[in-house]
Amino acid sequence: MPTLFKDAAKVIVGNGDVLEHVSVRIDGNVISKIGRNLPPDGADIVDCTGKVVMPGLIDVHVHIAMWAGEVDWGNILDIPDEYLAMRATTYLQWWIQNGFTTIFEPLARRDLPFEMRRALRDGVIAGPRLLVSGPAIVGTGARGMFFGPREITGVDDARRAVREQISIYRNADIVKIMATSEMLTGHVESRVQLTAEEIAAMVDEAHKAGAPVHCHAYGGPGVKLAVDNGVDLIVHGAPIGWEFEPNLAQGSWQLQRRIDGGKFENTDYMGNYDLMARKGTFWAPTLSYFYKIYFEHWEEFQRKINPFIVGRAQLVGESIERNFRLAHEAGVPIVLGSDTGMPFTYHGDAAWELRLFVRFGMSAGEAIQAATGRAAKALWIDDRTGTIEVGKRGDVLVLGADPLADIAVLSTPGAIEKVYLEGKLSAENNRAVPVSRESMMAQLEKLETLDELLTHRSPYDNGALGKRIVTSTKA
């Protein structure tokens, strides 16, 4: 049944524009009309008098199928994939009821994320639209195997890994690579672990298949290497423009030198900000993760984590505001990527990070764009979602307060009154709409049909977003 969001006080488009006293109509799963005094014409009426209508929120970096805010990653060693999947079904509900209609899972073991995507697509579980990459692609020996990474050495390996991820058997929406190590693994997080040739080959293969490349990178050397070789988005970038000095107060540091035994120690990376702005390379700063550790849970973190990692976390925590302001002032396109699941960051709470965006220099309007239209561009789905425009998918929020006046509205319980995903009411008053028996029965009827066999590894039928269309075999 069509839905008419009638006479909203404001419609936040998601591209910087704001419309006043207009209505929005959805037919099927697509926004069909926007204007004043639209006739009902048989639509279900949602009275938006005094309300704000805006696009569904988007988070470009979420660990839905791995972590859940744990501090001690050792716990993950003993958690099997099956249990990770079971708890993720609850977390997915938290996301949709908090206004997120699209999230991207950039790192999970084996086929777990692909089957979660399938379950959401088929209406078996409640939640947002889920884009996935599968296992992250890393240099040989770069990550603990409990992450389930795809290790590569050399250009041929790099191309093969991407081809496997974007093959018909997996159909990854996005390719996730890791140019450097990770703060919480015990390596120096800015240690470069891929070569320029490997990154360029992976970008080439992904782009040929219509998929963007998101790249984990800490520190100036890794960021420059990734951006120079064409990645579409940098995750973390803590910091983008320099390399940390050793932090000897918190434990010994590898040879008391910078990365690679000092290879890059005399190089200036402050030009990375302008480089990213010029090339249009998106940045997901994952501020929540760093802020929660350093400014809210520092004593607990120090008790549970070894001094080497504590020392590195201190350097990152002290630098996040300066790093963000430099990037924002340079014009780097910043998007919401919360890294939810990392220590002290909990599923569904990611809009809280937008408060930091505003505190560190963004306007509320730009922060909203970072979590809607601009985030959709970073995922290469902006032709279909991210803004309230005719022809876009009906991913719509109805709010009782104005986030342009106070960005905290988006992370205030109860402020988001209704959440629509592809034109369907998916959450109301902070509660996800349960999966219906009818939805489950429809899935049972589809099982073992040729359509299911052709598309069960793909997100592209039943109106889900993707790079291509799988033609139905039904008459």
CATH of the domain at 39: 2.30.40.10
Structural contact between residues 337 and 235, judged by C-beta atoms closer than 8 angstroms: yes
Query: Among 66, 88, 69, 85, which residue's Cα sits nearest to residue 77?
Result: 66
- CA atoms of 395 and 398, how far apart (whole Å): 10
Whether residues 85 and 24 share a domain: the answer is: no
Write out the two tokens for 132: 């996935």
What pLDDT is attached to residue 141? 82
Report the CATH number that the domain containing residue 74 is assigned in CATH: 3.20.20.140
Mean pLDDT of the 250-270 span: 62
Whether residues 48 and 128 share a domain: the answer is: no
Mean pLDDT of the 6-17 span: 98
What pLDDT is attached to residue 470? 33
- Is 467 within the bounds of a domain? no
Report how far apart, in Å, the C-alpha atoms of 74 and of each of 62, 131, 149, 307, 354 are: 19, 27, 17, 16, 30
Whether residues 198 and 246 share a domain: the answer is: yes
Q: Find the helix packing angle between 196-208 and 155-165, rounded to 10°.
A: 30
Whether residues 295 and 410 share a domain: the answer is: no
The total domain count for the chain is 2
- Is 369 within the bounds of a domain? no
- Is 326 within the bounds of a domain? yes
- Is 278 within the bounds of a domain? yes
105-159: pLDDT as tens digits: 998 888 888 889 988 988 889 999 999 998 899 999 876 666 778 899 999 999 9
Whether residues 343 and 421 share a domain: the answer is: no
Whether residues 17 and 107 share a domain: the answer is: no
Whether residues 191 and 301 share a domain: the answer is: yes
Instruction: Point out the domain boundary residue: 429, 444, 460.
Output: 429
pTM of this prediction?
0.92
Whether residues 52 and 190 share a domain: the answer is: no
Structural contact between residues 171 and 134, judged by C-beta atoms closer than 8 angstroms: no
What pLDDT is attached to residue 439? 82
- Is 473 within the bounds of a domain? no
Write out the two tokens for 56: 């569904």
- CA atoms of 133 and 211, how far apart (whole Å): 10
Residue 144: CA count within 13 A, CB half-sphere: 12
Whether residues 197 and 232 share a domain: the answer is: yes
Whether residues 119 and 16 share a domain: the answer is: no
- Is 94 within the bounds of a domain? yes
Whether residues 22 and 83 share a domain: the answer is: no
pLDDT above 60: residue 339:
yes
pLDDT band for 253, please (50, 70, 90 cuts).
Answer: low
- Is 23 within the bounds of a domain? yes
393-431: pLDDT as tens digits: 999 999 999 999 999 999 999 999 999 999 999 999 999
- Is 194 within the bounds of a domain? yes
Average pLDDT, the chain: 88
Whether residues 230 and 331 share a domain: the answer is: yes
Provide φ and ψ at 176, rounded to 5°: -110, 125
pLDDT above 70: residue 104:
yes
Mean pLDDT of the 24-35 span: 97
Question: 6: which strand partners?
Answer: 47
**What is the domain range of residue 13?**
3-56+375-429
